[in-house]
Amino acid sequence: MEYGKRPETMARITTKELADTFIAEQVAEIREQVGDKKVLLALSGGVDSSVVAALLIKAIGKQLVCVHVNHGLMRKGESEQVIEVFGKELDANLVYIDATDRFLDLLAGVSEPEKKRKIIGGEFIKVFDEEASKLEGISFLAQGTIYPDILESDGVKAHHNVGGLPEDMKMELVEPVKYLYKDEVRVVGEALGLPHGMVYRQPFPGPGLGVRCLGAITRDRLHALREADAILREEFDKNGLAGKVWQYFIAVPDMKSVGVKDGKRYEGWPAIIRAVNTTDAMSATIEEIPYALLHHITDRITHEVDGINRVLLDLTPKPIGTIEWE
């Protein structure tokens, strides 16, 4: 897959007017490219795929088939939100697949990060190929590739969007936001009328919680990670940090330390908080979280989440540390 460079003449999309112009251009281009054929889209529920879905629904309506695969590595409540917004509110042509067991069985005992990403990415493509073969007349595959994916695809990211598609896949690609930065994608999403909470939802890697449940994924540790992450997100929402921090999440490593519970020693995992700010994901700074809030989050996670007995804070900017741990 060869990608060109973003045209130097292309203005940064910062206003609704610029977004509307972009949408009109893309709608025309999509209609010309697709004609009366059908398009298959991997709808993760993240900002990029959601904006691509909304663009395509505007351009070609029911010719778009959205397939949402719950790979068992979603955050708490995410698949439900996709079904609500796209299945019900936007009346999209939506296929929902719960492939949790299929993914987790394949990932059992696999600890090497790139191998995990390749298994998750590869299985995703297989699931879509299977779905595509059940559908009549699918000629195109839409993807939420954005510009940083292209810039970073040279050996840095081996997952979801760029490259790695099987040679025999008989679908042509539709990638309407491939030259946009993340902040531009959000402006376009708002102009398309997507819910604010979805458009400003923080980015989520293609392999999902698979790269935050560090090392070999086990169901119990994945469950603990999902619950701890939900508490962090809830507290950031309640305390006005959700709109100020670009990305915040929990990572849980495959290591245990001794703790005390009900007067007895027991071993549990640490939950690591990562909260960073960035405009383009190429570099990132650390967001300061008030200590009182950190204490409250720590108290909730250690008391409400089975198996977690410590909470740590990651203070590393990017570069040096990437945004994700794996």
pLDDT digits (tens, 9 = 90+) for 238-261: 999 988 888 999 999 999 999 998
Q: How many helices (H) and strands (E) does the chain have?
A: 10, 10
pLDDT-derived band at 294, boundaries 50, 70, 90: very high
Across the chain, the runs of DSSP E, i.e. the strands, are 38-42, 64-70, 93-98, 138-142, 172-174, 247-251, 257-261, 264-277, 285-286, 308-313
Copy the structure tokens of residue 92.
């999209």
pLDDT-derived band at 293, boundaries 50, 70, 90: very high
pLDDT-derived band at 154, boundaries 50, 70, 90: low
Q: Is the pTM of this model over 0.85?
A: no
Residue 160 pLDDT more than 80? no
Winning range, highest mean pLDDT, from 118-132, 201-215, 289-303 = 289-303
- Residue range 32-91, pLDDT digits in tens: 999 999 999 989 888 999 999 999 999 999 999 999 999 999 999 889 989 998 999 888
- Residue range 13-47, pLDDT digits in tens: 999 999 999 999 999 999 999 999 999 998 988 89
Class of domain 16-199: alpha beta
Q: Residues of CATH 3.40.50.620 domain(s) within the chain?
A: 16-199
Q: Residues of CATH 3.30.300.10 domain(s) within the chain?
A: 212-313
From the candidate CATH numbers 3.30.300.10, 3.40.50.300, 3.40.430.10, 3.10.310.30, the one assigned to the domain spanning 212-313:
3.30.300.10
Residue 196 pLDDT more than 90? no
CA neighbor of 15 nearest in space, from 179, 176, 186, 175: 186
**What was the pLDDT predicted at 204?**
81
Residue 161 pLDDT more than 50? no
Residue type, 58: K
Question: What is the spatial distance between Cα 272 and Cα 107, in angstroms, rounded to a whole number?
Answer: 22
pLDDT-derived band at 178, boundaries 50, 70, 90: very high
Mean pLDDT taken over the chain: 90
Query: Which phi and psi (to 5°) does residue 42 adopt?
Result: -80, 105
**What was the pLDDT predicted at 229?**
97
Residue 290 pLDDT more than 70? yes
Which sign does the torsion angle of CA 269, 270, 276, 281 carry?
Answer: negative
